[in-house]
Amino acid sequence: MASIPITARARHGDGGLNRALAIQALIGGSALILVAAPLVPILYQSFVSRPLYEDGGILTLDNYVRLFGDSVFYSVISNSILLALATTLIACILGVAFAIFLERTNLPFRKTLRSIVLWPMYVSQLVIAFSWFVMYGPSGYVTLLTQQLFGDAPWNLYTIWGMAAVGGTGMAPLVYLFCASSAQRVDATLEDAGRTMGAGSLRVLWSISIPLMRPAIIYSALLTFIGSLEMLSVPLVFGRPVGIEFFTTYLYSHGLGGIEPDYGILGAAAAILLVIITVLLICQGMLLTKAGRFVTLKGKAQRQKLADLGAARWPVFLLFLLYNVVILAIPLAGIALRSVTTFLTPLMAPFDLLTWENFNLIFSYDAYVRSITNSLIISTVGGAIATVFIALITLVVHRSNFRFRRQLEFIALYPRAIPGIVAGIGLFWAMLIIPGIGWMHGTIWIMVLAFTMRSIPTAFGAISPALMQISEELDKSARSCGADWWTACRTIILPLLKPAIFSAYVLLFLSFLKEYSSAVFLFSPGNEIIGTTMLSFWANGDTGPVAALSVIQIALTVIFVFAARQLLRSHQNV
């Protein structure tokens, strides 16, 4: 009998504890280094008189003095805030409308419309900006056709509201996703009470359903506002040509626009943008602390009833159809048509201008082909590595006794506050000053690091809910049989998380494939990706190759999304 405690101690003893603690510390330390790597150089550079790679720099506030002494910077701040507000307003109006009509009414073909309105999320913002330029820009096909027919086009994308229309329609699916789940959980008894008082279906939706969605609307609105502040593609394509500067284009211009970049100004501006977004995220958390008062779905809640639109069903459906044609179908068809024509104009039939020259150019040069293969490798291999790493972070946060697991959760979510262009600047400087990582310069692995850091909150948010649904009794049972923490996670928890991990991988693959903003400061000959090659073509005015690369990226996205959906349908137990 005396041998039993000895056996238990051998199985649960210091060896298992030390291994678990070592693994947890390694995961937590790696996450901290990955998130801090771009931040520390930026903050340090903002207070140093010389570039970080030069000796003799002293601590100073001169960079901030020069930054705020630049009158252009004040217009940068005001333009950025105005664009973010306008974009958020448009995205929230559209996203909430999608959630209400697609989730709470008897709108025809709701399932099909749900899939269609989400597609802008799958497409790179860079491609969206280019496609709108091709069709709705000053020399765009639809713009010229409208001018030819009616004498003038009633839109101008080279304004704050024009850019907000491009950005807002692209971000509306994000608002819809957050608000859709909230709309689905509204207690039907409250809506029934409104109907018994004589309110019609639309009045019930406006007066009861939408107010109860307020936490989701606030959360998605702040995310959209933050996303608008860090948006690079739309300001670069539509703002820079007319001299309207924003935070991102200001950083882009000062970092890449001159022969000798002013790294002090660059660091100070990046640090200010970082602080602004961090404060916004803190405000987001504070605003949602009292979200419990909006809880309506409880144990006795009734099944929801769809609001009857009556005679408005088909007009609303046609309005949705028109929206998707104008916002999604026409721009994407235009970019596809531009990729196989010498130029695109309503004055000549496109079929008279057909050519494969743009695609021949892409596949004739190693650098352009390499940008495609690099993007695929980064998305496939890098996405898999990132998914495994973030899954381990999630295990440590939610399924361990690691002393610093709450701090690790904050670290995992903090990259939401780091704009892509800021992450790229920071990692570029980190390669110059941190010993041991300089070898990454000119390789795709620095891109993998940047994209992984940026995507931690996305995958963490995808895996965490599934992990919390798995009972901790399984862990305890494994531990009682002699397994340590790592063995229990590896043999029991991780296999049960396969569907969630696969979903996270799908999200990261798509995110890595369309990412470009964090790469603009990191790419060099040899590690180009599709996004940076498109920017290079755009800077030279070559819209044909830009369209060809856009079509290639869209085709890769469509193939992957289709394959992922088929795999999920045929292997539900994956």
Q: For the chain, count helices (H), then strands (E).
A: 30, 0
Query: Which pLDDT does position 313 carry in this prediction?
Result: 86
State which amino acid sits at residue 131. Answer: S
The winner for highest mean pLDDT among 300-309, 370-379, 414-423, 525-534 is: 370-379
Q: What is the pTM of this model?
A: 0.85
Greatest CA separation for the chain = 97
Burial class (CB in 10 A: 0-12, 13-18, 19+), 50: middle
Query: Which pLDDT does position 9 carry in this prediction?
Result: 41
Phi, psi of 105 (to 5 degrees): -125, 170
Which of 474, 485, 462 lies closest to 390 in space, CA to CA?
Answer: 462
Residue 425 pLDDT exceeds 60: yes
- Lowest pLDDT segment from 3-12, 225-234, 493-502, 529-538: 3-12
**CA 420 to mean position of chain CA atoms:** 10
Distance CA 331, CA 112 (A): 20
Distance CA 325, CA 129 (A): 16
CATH of 356-574, one of 3.40.50.970, 3.30.565.10, 1.10.10.10, 1.10.3720.10: 1.10.3720.10
The residue-averaged pLDDT of 386-411 equals 91
Residue 571 pLDDT exceeds 60: no
SS3 labels along 296-308: CCCCCCCCCCCEC
Confidence of residue 430 (pLDDT cuts 50, 70, 90): confident
Check: CB of residue 204 under 8 Å from CB of residue 183: no
Confidence of residue 521 (pLDDT cuts 50, 70, 90): confident
The residue-averaged pLDDT of 1-23 equals 56
For the chain, how far is it from start to end, CA to CA, in angstroms? 44
Check: CB of residue 382 under 8 Å from CB of residue 449: no
Beta-bridged to residue 105, according to DSSP, are 307
CATH code 3.40.50.620 for 70-243+306-349: no
Token pair, residue 154, equals 């009633």
pLDDT tens digit sequence for 157-215: 999 999 999 999 999 998 888 888 766 665 555 555 555 655 555 566 656 666 767 77
> What is the percent of the chain where pLDDT is above 90?
34
Domain limits, CATH 1.10.3720.10, in the chain: 70-243+306-349, 356-574
**Sequence-separated (6 or more) residues with CB below 8 Å from residue 71:** none
Residue 565 pLDDT exceeds 70: yes
How would you label 352-390 residue by residue, b for 16+ Cβ within 10 Å and e otherwise? Answer: eeeeeebbeebeeeeebebbbebbbbbbeebbebbbebb
**Sequence-separated (6 or more) residues with CB below 8 Å from residue 240:** 249, 253
State which amino acid sits at residue 339. Answer: S
**Sequence-separated (6 or more) residues with CB below 8 Å from residue 559:** none
DSSP 8-class letter at 151:
S
pLDDT tens digit sequence for 351-371: 888 899 999 999 999 999 999
Considering Cα of 468, then 182, then 85, then 170, what sign does the dihedral take? positive
pLDDT tens digit sequence for 45-101: 889 888 877 777 788 888 899 888 888 889 999 999 999 999 999 999 999 889 888
SS3 354: strand
